[in-house]
Structure 1
Amino acid sequence: MILLSYFEPETNNWRECTFAQLPTNLPAEARLWINLNNASQEEQLQIMQRFAIGPTLAEDFSRERHPPKMEAQTDFTLLIMRGYADADFSEYNSSAQVNLLYSKQVLISKIQCHNPVLLKQLEPQITAGKNSNIADWIKQLIFVVSGSYLEKLINFEDEQSELEDVMLHRGNDEHMARIMRYRSVLRKINRNLAYQKDIFSDAVYEEQSPLLRHFNSTEIRDFYEKFERLHSMTDMYYDQLSDLVEGYLSTTSHQINERMKVLTIVSTIFIPLTFIAGIYGMNFINMPELQMMNGYFIVLIAMATGGIAGLTWFKIRGWW
């Protein structure tokens, strides 16, 4: 189903209309928002043909999943972005896919988002009785997409601090699994942010960037700085979580080494004692010490002396 919101310069107001009710040529002051969130492939194709959208742009726009990108033709610019739609970084269901085709008068949007609150924010804000600038709508959507990451990243800072304290004092495998989930989510959103940062980074330095049709260089740099900051924050959090993993593994390895050292010391002490016990456990008739009256006690004293001497040697050498 196609949803159209049309601003009529004659009545100076917005109204919902059908595709057939649109004028063939839009007046200069007219504005049009076409919502294709629930449109079929045939309806999307109809819109693409109506506004003479090139096949490459039409194909990329119609995809439900596409990496963030920006491309332009004569009148229309394609901008694909991804927002973060989950409540936090404990799980990652899917991104909010924001596909936009826009010109000076027309905005065509297709947004896939499982978060109803974010979906509502990603819709252009229409004010009754007031004409809207398409560039302002695009700016609003860019800020909403960047904000969907920023709020979660700021909240995650406190959670990561708690994780650091927990891992320092009583870390366990459950906390490790939690960290690994966070790292997986951060790695995925980092890719999305890298794509979007590059879109605006290229626009900052390209004199022919499609964004310059609607925004000045200061606004484009503002977009770039927002996504560059988000990308840097995800890099930083990912590195810090990696440090926690490495620290936990190092601590665990050290604890295992300490236990192995104790076991090695015990084994080293008891191996010669076991050797002596093994010799005198043999049942040969002609063993010379079998007839000694105090042989049993002499062997026990020798074994105790050997064990104490071994422990003393380890202590002197600093091995224990």
Structure 2
Amino acid sequence: MIRCLSYSQGEIVDIEPNIISEKINNKNLLWVDLENPNDFEIKILSESFRFHPLTIEDCLHRKQRSKIEDYQNYYFIVMNVFKGRKLEKEFINSEIFIFVSKTYVVTVHWSKMELIDVIYKKATVTTNIFERGIDFLLYSIMDGVIDDYFPVVDEIGEKIDEIEEGIFKKDDNVVYNKIFTLKKNMLKLRKIITAQREILNTFLRHDFTLIKEENRLYFMDIYDHIMRLFDLIDTYYDLLTGTLDLYMSSISNRMNEIMKTLTIITTIMMPLTLITGIYGMNFKNMPELNTEYGYFVTLAFMGLIALWEILYFKKKKWL
């Protein structure tokens, strides 16, 4: 699917793909959005905009790391967008490919993105975005991408609280698997945010002429958001590490309790086993063997020994 917006002299119009080249030559401000493009729509990138084959190849192969590349007439930007909210499973993200120059922004993505739909709808009904320049349109897109990570990070905090509550309720591997998966996803998230911070560093350089001075503050605001994400991720990562230590301690405590119980049982059984072992020997001249009530006396004696041991352990608070 392709949609095109053209802005000129305070007027915003939807245009057909076949007149994109004409609008580019007339220096109109353009936003061309390609969602899950077909072969014909991909050709627009090479024939109408004459983008470098390497950038088009990146769009087709996907699975790209966030980056920015200078191709003289335009900049090629890759940003990672979070997809899905099931953090207990593997982290899923998608890419948005952005071509930007002083007169146009071209966005390419292979799945539906709500943030793009929201910005596109806003750009359609108001001239405010285009009036501030093509760099402000770029800011709106990037700000939407970065802000979409905050609900993810907030959910991470909730998951950590949930895991901490479950540590003392479960003694299986479910909690450990949740911790391990969440920790893995947080490392992946931090890696993505780190790469996107480098893009903002490029934009904030004063020799980066694509960004107008009056709009530079907006990109500084995105940078502040990224740094907040870093702080939150680092804080939650430390909390998760502490949660893992707490989980391992609880497992160790449970094991110690089990070993303590088994040790007490073994200690109680030791003298009883000794007595039964002695009277289990097959010697003929053992006087107690012929006693009429020897069996019952021995059982009673063994019971007294066991009772005495239990009382002693309770007195020492070992039970």
TM-score, with length taken from structure 2: 0.80
- Distance in 2, Cα, partners of 1:24 & 1:281: 105
**In structure 1, what residue type is equivalent to 2:29?**
R
Aligned to 2:92: 94
Residues 91 and 107 (structure 1), Cα distance of their counterparts in 2 relative to 1, 3 Å cut? same
Residues 291 and 21 (structure 1), Cα distance of their counterparts in 2 relative to 1, 3 Å cut? closer
SS in 2 for 1:52: coil
Contact kept, 8 Å, 1:32 with 1:106, in 2: the verdict is yes
Contact kept, 8 Å, 1:88 with 1:152, in 2: the verdict is no
Aligned to 2:118: 121
Give CA-to-partner distance per residue, 1:62-107, whole Å, 9 cap, x none: 4332111111121201111112232453445732421100101111
Give CA-to-partner distance per residue, 1:180-224, whole Å, 9 cap, x none: 4433433332322222123324555x555x4x5215454443222
Aligned to 1:285: 284
Aligned to 1:52: 50
Superposed, 1:40-189 pairs within 5 Å as: 40-41=38-39, 43-87=41-85, 89-91=87-89, 94-114=92-112, 117-121=114-118, 123=120, 125-127=122-124, 130=127, 131-132=130-131, 133-158=133-158, 160-164=160-164, 166-167=165-166, 170-173=169-172, 174-189=174-189
Shifted more, 80-89 versus 274-283: the winner is 80-89
Superposed, 1:202-221 pairs within 5 Å as: 203-204=203-204, 208=207, 210=208, 212-216=209-213, 218-221=217-220
Aligned to 1:194: 194
Shifted more, 63-72 versus 123-132: the winner is 123-132
Aligned to 1:255: 254
Residues 195 and 317 (structure 1), Cα distance of their counterparts in 2 relative to 1, 3 Å cut? same
Contact kept, 8 Å, 1:86 with 1:92, in 2: the verdict is no
Alpha-carbon offset, residue 316 of structure 1? 7.8
Give aligned-pair identity as a percent. 23
RMSD (Å) for aligned C-alpha atoms = 3.4
SS in 1 for 2:153: helix
Structure 2 residues not aligned, in runs of 5+? none
Residues 186 and 273 (structure 1), Cα distance of their counterparts in 2 relative to 1, 3 Å cut? same
**In structure 1, what residue type is equivalent to 2:240?**
L
Residues 171 and 198 (structure 1), Cα distance of their counterparts in 2 relative to 1, 3 Å cut? farther
Residues 144 and 278 (structure 1), Cα distance of their counterparts in 2 relative to 1, 3 Å cut? same
Structure 1 residues not aligned, in runs of 5+? none
Residues 21 and 291 (structure 1), Cα distance of their counterparts in 2 relative to 1, 3 Å cut? closer
Alpha-carbon offset, residue 110 of structure 1? 0.4
Give CA-to-partner distance per residue, 1:28-66, whole Å, 9 cap, x none: 4x1122222232345424423433323333332443321
Residues 215 and 304 (structure 1), Cα distance of their counterparts in 2 relative to 1, 3 Å cut? farther
TM-score, with length taken from structure 1: 0.80
Alpha-carbon offset, residue 315 of structure 1? 6.6
- Distance in 2, Cα, partners of 1:312 & 1:21: 92
Contact kept, 8 Å, 2:81 with 2:145, in 1: the verdict is yes
Residues 280 and 226 (structure 1), Cα distance of their counterparts in 2 relative to 1, 3 Å cut? same
Residues 50 and 308 (structure 1), Cα distance of their counterparts in 2 relative to 1, 3 Å cut? same
Residues 229 and 105 (structure 1), Cα distance of their counterparts in 2 relative to 1, 3 Å cut? same
Give CA-to-partner distance per residue, 1:1-48, whole Å, 9 cap, x none: 543333345x944231233563286234x1122222232345424423
- Distance in 1, Cα, partners of 2:15 & 2:139: 23
Aligned to 2:265: 266
- Distance in 2, Cα, partners of 1:13 & 1:319: 81
